[in-house]
Amino acid sequence: MMLIKVLRSKIHRARITETRLEYEGSITIDEDLIEAAGLVPGEAVLVANCNNGTRCETYVIVGERGSGTICLNGAAARLGEPGDVVIILGFAYLAPEELESHRPQKIVVDERNRYVREM
Protein backbone atom coordinates (compact mmCIF):
# COMPACT_ATOMS: atom_id res chain seq x y z
CA MET A 1 0.00 0.00 0.00
CA MET A 2 1.29 3.45 -0.91
CA LEU A 3 1.40 6.17 1.76
CA ILE A 4 1.94 9.86 1.11
CA LYS A 5 3.69 12.16 3.59
CA VAL A 6 1.55 15.25 4.27
CA LEU A 7 1.52 18.18 6.67
CA ARG A 8 -0.41 17.32 9.83
CA SER A 9 0.45 20.16 12.24
CA LYS A 10 2.06 23.58 11.98
CA ILE A 11 3.08 26.32 14.40
CA HIS A 12 3.63 29.34 12.16
CA ARG A 13 6.29 31.96 12.91
CA ALA A 14 7.07 31.20 16.53
CA ARG A 15 10.12 32.86 18.05
CA ILE A 16 12.96 30.99 19.69
CA THR A 17 13.06 31.98 23.36
CA GLU A 18 16.22 30.13 24.34
CA THR A 19 18.78 27.55 23.29
CA ARG A 20 20.45 24.86 25.41
CA LEU A 21 23.42 23.17 23.80
CA GLU A 22 24.14 20.94 26.81
CA TYR A 23 20.93 18.94 26.53
CA GLU A 24 20.02 15.58 25.05
CA GLY A 25 18.44 17.13 21.98
CA SER A 26 14.91 18.15 21.02
CA ILE A 27 12.69 21.21 20.92
CA THR A 28 10.83 22.29 24.04
CA ILE A 29 7.45 23.83 23.21
CA ASP A 30 4.89 25.49 25.49
CA GLU A 31 2.22 22.89 26.29
CA ASP A 32 -0.55 25.28 25.18
CA LEU A 33 1.00 25.44 21.69
CA ILE A 34 1.51 21.67 21.52
CA GLU A 35 -2.20 21.17 22.19
CA ALA A 36 -3.37 23.96 19.87
CA ALA A 37 -1.32 22.58 16.98
CA GLY A 38 -2.27 18.96 17.68
CA LEU A 39 1.31 17.85 18.25
CA VAL A 40 2.25 14.95 20.52
CA PRO A 41 5.13 14.79 23.03
CA GLY A 42 7.95 12.81 21.46
CA GLU A 43 6.65 13.41 17.93
CA ALA A 44 9.23 14.07 15.23
CA VAL A 45 9.01 17.60 13.84
CA LEU A 46 10.82 19.66 11.25
CA VAL A 47 11.97 23.07 12.46
CA ALA A 48 12.55 25.63 9.70
CA ASN A 49 14.43 28.76 10.78
CA CYS A 50 13.22 31.78 8.77
CA ASN A 51 16.22 33.90 9.85
CA ASN A 52 19.04 31.67 8.61
CA GLY A 53 17.38 29.10 6.36
CA THR A 54 18.38 26.04 8.39
CA ARG A 55 16.07 23.09 8.84
CA CYS A 56 16.41 20.31 11.37
CA GLU A 57 14.42 17.32 12.45
CA THR A 58 14.04 16.73 16.16
CA TYR A 59 11.28 15.75 18.59
CA VAL A 60 8.82 17.55 20.85
CA ILE A 61 9.34 17.95 24.59
CA VAL A 62 6.58 19.56 26.68
CA GLY A 63 7.41 22.99 28.07
CA GLU A 64 5.69 24.92 30.81
CA ARG A 65 2.09 25.77 29.95
CA GLY A 66 1.58 29.46 29.19
CA SER A 67 5.32 30.20 29.13
CA GLY A 68 5.65 30.82 25.39
CA THR A 69 8.74 28.60 25.42
CA ILE A 70 10.32 27.57 22.13
CA CYS A 71 13.74 26.19 23.08
CA LEU A 72 16.19 24.49 20.74
CA ASN A 73 18.12 21.84 22.65
CA GLY A 74 21.26 19.83 21.96
CA ALA A 75 22.72 20.03 18.45
CA ALA A 76 19.67 21.99 17.23
CA ALA A 77 20.77 24.83 19.53
CA ARG A 78 23.51 25.58 16.99
CA LEU A 79 20.87 26.30 14.33
CA GLY A 80 19.17 29.30 15.89
CA GLU A 81 19.28 31.95 18.54
CA PRO A 82 16.70 33.70 20.71
CA GLY A 83 14.48 35.92 18.60
CA ASP A 84 14.80 33.86 15.41
CA VAL A 85 11.46 33.09 13.75
CA VAL A 86 10.76 29.39 13.16
CA ILE A 87 8.05 27.27 11.62
CA ILE A 88 7.46 23.94 13.36
CA LEU A 89 5.97 21.21 11.17
CA GLY A 90 4.58 17.79 12.02
CA PHE A 91 3.80 15.25 9.30
CA ALA A 92 1.70 12.11 8.83
CA TYR A 93 1.60 9.30 6.30
CA LEU A 94 -1.82 8.86 4.72
CA ALA A 95 -3.28 6.46 2.22
CA PRO A 96 -4.47 8.14 -1.00
CA GLU A 97 -8.12 7.67 -0.03
CA GLU A 98 -7.53 9.68 3.19
CA LEU A 99 -6.13 12.74 1.42
CA GLU A 100 -9.41 14.37 0.42
CA SER A 101 -10.73 14.60 3.98
CA HIS A 102 -7.41 15.50 5.62
CA ARG A 103 -7.06 19.03 6.99
CA PRO A 104 -3.80 20.00 8.71
CA GLN A 105 -4.05 21.72 12.08
CA LYS A 106 -2.16 25.01 11.59
CA ILE A 107 -1.85 27.80 14.14
CA VAL A 108 -0.47 31.33 14.16
CA VAL A 109 1.25 32.78 17.22
CA ASP A 110 2.09 36.36 18.18
CA GLU A 111 5.52 37.82 18.96
CA ARG A 112 5.34 36.32 22.49
CA ASN A 113 4.41 32.82 21.18
CA ARG A 114 0.83 33.09 22.33
CA TYR A 115 -1.84 31.32 20.28
CA VAL A 116 -3.65 33.84 18.06
CA ARG A 117 -5.75 31.82 15.61
CA GLU A 118 -5.91 28.87 13.27
CA MET A 119 -4.68 29.35 9.72
* pLDDT of the residue at 81: 98
* pLDDT of the residue at 40: 97
What integer is the mean pLDDT of 45-66?
98
Does residue 72 have a pLDDT over 80? Answer: yes
The answer to whether position 72 is within a domain reads yes
CA-nearest of 31, 4, 11 to 90 is 11
The size of the chain, in residues, is 119
What integer is the mean pLDDT of 39-61?
98
- Are the CB atoms for 5 and 101 separated by under 8 Å? no
pLDDT over 90, % of the chain: 97
- Annotated catalytic residues are 26, 59
* pLDDT of the residue at 93: 98
- Can you give the CATH number for the domain in which 45 is found? 2.40.40.20
Does residue 22 have a pLDDT over 80? Answer: yes
**Predicted confidence band of residue 24 (pLDDT cuts 50, 70, 90):** confident
Does residue 18 have a pLDDT over 80? Answer: yes
Count of structural domains, the chain: 1
Which residues span the domain enclosing 74?
4-94
3-state DSSP of 11-75: EEEEECCEEECCCCCEEEEEHHHHHHHCCCCCCEEEEEECCCCCEEEEEEEEECCCCCCEEEEHH
